[in-house]
Amino acid sequence: MTNGEILGNKLYELRKQAGLSQEAFAEKLGVSRQAVSKWECGASMPDTDNLITIANLYDISLDELIGRPAPEKTEKTDAQEEYEDEDDKEDAEAEAYYSDDGTPADKKRKTLRILHALPYPIFATAVFLLWGFLLDGWGIAWTVFITIPVYYSVLECVRTKRLSPFAYPVFITFVYCILGMQWDLWHPCWILYITIPIYYAAASATDKRK
């Protein structure tokens, strides 16, 4: 059966269900009865404008009108539902973080907002210059810039009450550079990097328990 015949049968069935004659149906569309007859027998097909008008007339979708199957709904896996639930939870936490409700927790949120709004990169730059000029520590003072992502990750950990957001690899790099440049402990302090996967495994487990 051709697409024209399938559509024709559908048009015929809809017209009969609506109790319309070909003449009455043609009048509603502003076309001739012969055109309607050709559509229903599959000799021709309505143009796009007429298809839209017909769909609106019968209060159905174009997909239903032309016989296209509706997309199947796929069942969400437990992992997908858990992921969406976690997203919703984080959205709710973020909304609470930026709202003032007068509760004791509101003081904590205000403090976090103030700390987050502080221009920490400017503070780090000031420390770098003071360390360099006053203590002649240019060779090591630059490490203070490594603390910038660490600072913001700590605030995120406090806000979300989770350990995973902490920029642990960056923190380890800062510690490693200080130990290496200040006390020449490049070896064996490189072993600190081995603790990175251990930290995130423990942080992930702790966050899930919470």
Asked whether residue 118 is assigned to any structural domain, the reply reads yes
pLDDT band at 179 (very low <50, low <70, confident <90, very high): very high
pLDDT tens column, 14-41: 889 889 899 999 998 889 999 989 888 8
Q: Is 189 exposed, middle or buried (0-12, 13-18, 19+ CB in 10 A)?
A: middle
My answer on whether 59 and 106 are in the same domain is no
The pair of three-digit structure tokens given for residue 127, joined into one six-digit string:
């420390």
Asked whether residue 122 is assigned to any structural domain, the reply reads yes
My answer on whether 189 and 121 are in the same domain is yes
Asked whether residue 90 is assigned to any structural domain, the reply reads no
The per-residue pLDDT for 3 is 78
- Whole-number Å distance between alpha carbons of 62 and 88: 34
The helix/strand count (H/E) of the chain reads as 13, 0
For residues 160-182, average pLDDT:
95
Containing domain of residue 116, as a range?
100-209
The per-residue pLDDT for 77 is 61
Q: Which residue has the tokens 């199947």?
A: 72
Most confident of 20-29, 40-49, 107-116, 125-134: 125-134
My answer on whether 183 and 135 are in the same domain is yes
Average pLDDT, the chain: 85
The residue type of 26 is A
Q: Which residue has the tokens 């409700």?
A: 101
Asked whether residue 77 is assigned to any structural domain, the reply reads no
Asked whether residue 78 is assigned to any structural domain, the reply reads no
The per-residue pLDDT for 75 is 59
My answer on whether 115 and 182 are in the same domain is yes
Asked whether residue 20 is assigned to any structural domain, the reply reads yes
The per-residue pLDDT for 176 is 96
For residues 163-185, average pLDDT:
95
- Distance of CA 75 to CAs 11, 78, 79, 89, Å? 33, 9, 11, 21
Closest of 63, 35, 48, 45 to residue 7, by C-alpha = 45
* pTM (2 d.p.): 0.51
pLDDT tens column, 155-170: 999 989 999 999 999 9
pLDDT tens column, 58-111: 888 888 887 765 555 555 566 566 656 666 665 655 555 545 455 556 777 888
My answer on whether 117 and 41 are in the same domain is no
My answer on whether 33 and 114 are in the same domain is no
Number of domains the chain contains: 2
Looking up residue 11, the CATH number of its domain turns out to be: 1.10.260.40
3-state secondary structure of 35: helix
Taking residue 203's Cβ as centre, other Cβ atoms within 10 Å add up to: 17
